Amino acid sequence: MALAKQHSDGAASAADQPRIDWPKAGRWAVALLLFAIIGSGAAWVFEQLRDPRVLPFKVVRIDGPLRHLDRLQIEKAVGGEIRGNFFTVDVERVHRAARNLPWIDQVSVRRVWPHTLVIKIVEQVPMARWGKSQLVNPKGDLFSPSPDEIPTGLPYLYGPVGSSHEMVVHYRNLKPRLALLGLELDQLSVDARRSWKMVFANGMRLNLGSKELEERLQRFISIFPLIRNGAEPESKLLDVDLRYTNGFTVRWEQKQKTPDADNPGPVTGTQSGRV
In a domain, 248, yes or no: yes
154 lies in the same domain as 190: yes
Domain shared by 110 and 89, yes or no: yes
Q: What pLDDT, on the 0 to 100 scale, is given for residue 3?
A: 47
pLDDT at 44: 40
Contact 231, 237 (CB under 8 A): yes
**Helix intervals (H) in the chain:** 2-15, 22-49, 71-79, 91-99, 164-179, 213-230
Whose CA is closest to 209, among 157, 244, 179, 237?
Answer: 244
Residue at 28 is within a domain: no
What was the pLDDT predicted at 116? 93
Phi, psi of 164, deg, nearest 5: -65, -40
Judge whether 152 lies within some domain: yes
What are residue 205's DSSP bridge partners?
199, 239
Can you tell me the distance from the alpha carbon of 220 to that of 214, in angstroms, rounded to the nearest whole number?
Answer: 10
Counting beta carbons within 10 angstroms of the beta carbon of residue 159, is it exposed (0 to 12), middle (13 to 18) or buried (19 or more)? buried
> pLDDT (tens digit, 9 = 90+) per residue, 78-131?
998 998 888 889 999 999 999 999 999 999 999 999 889 999 999 999 999 998
Residue 90 is assigned to a structural domain of this protein: yes
Domain of 209?
128-274
138 and 251 housed in the same domain: yes
| Domain identity same for 220 and 185 | yes
CA–CA distance, 220 with 235 (Å, rounded to integer): 19
256 shares a domain with 143: yes
CATH code (residue 215): 3.40.50.11690
CA 206, distance to chain mean position in Å, is 31
Q: Is residue 25 part of a domain?
A: no
Burial environment of residue 179 by CB neighbours within 10 A (0 to 12, 13 to 18, 19 or more): exposed
State the Cα–Cα distance between residues 214 and 221, nearest whole angstrom.
10
Which whole-number Å values give the CA distances from 89 to 32, 79, 86, in the listed order?
Answer: 34, 12, 6
Q: Rounded CA gap, 23 and 195, in Å?
A: 93
Say if 21 falls within a structural domain: no
pLDDT at position 270 is 60
Within the chain, which residues score under 70 in pLDDT? 1-55, 255-275
Task: Please give the tally of structural domains in the chain.
Answer: 2
Domain co-membership, 106 together with 207? no
C-alpha to C-alpha distances, 109 to 82, 118, 158, 262, nearest whole angstrom: 11, 6, 35, 69
The pLDDT value given to residue 255: 66
Same domain? 144 vs 269? yes
Q: What angle do CA 148, 154, 159 make, to 5 degrees?
A: 100
Residue type (1 letter), 75: E
Please indicate, yes or no, whether residues 241 and 265 belong to a single structural domain of this protein.
yes
Secondary structure of residue 57 in the 3-state scheme = coil
153-171 per-position pLDDT tens digit:
999 999 999 999 999 999 9
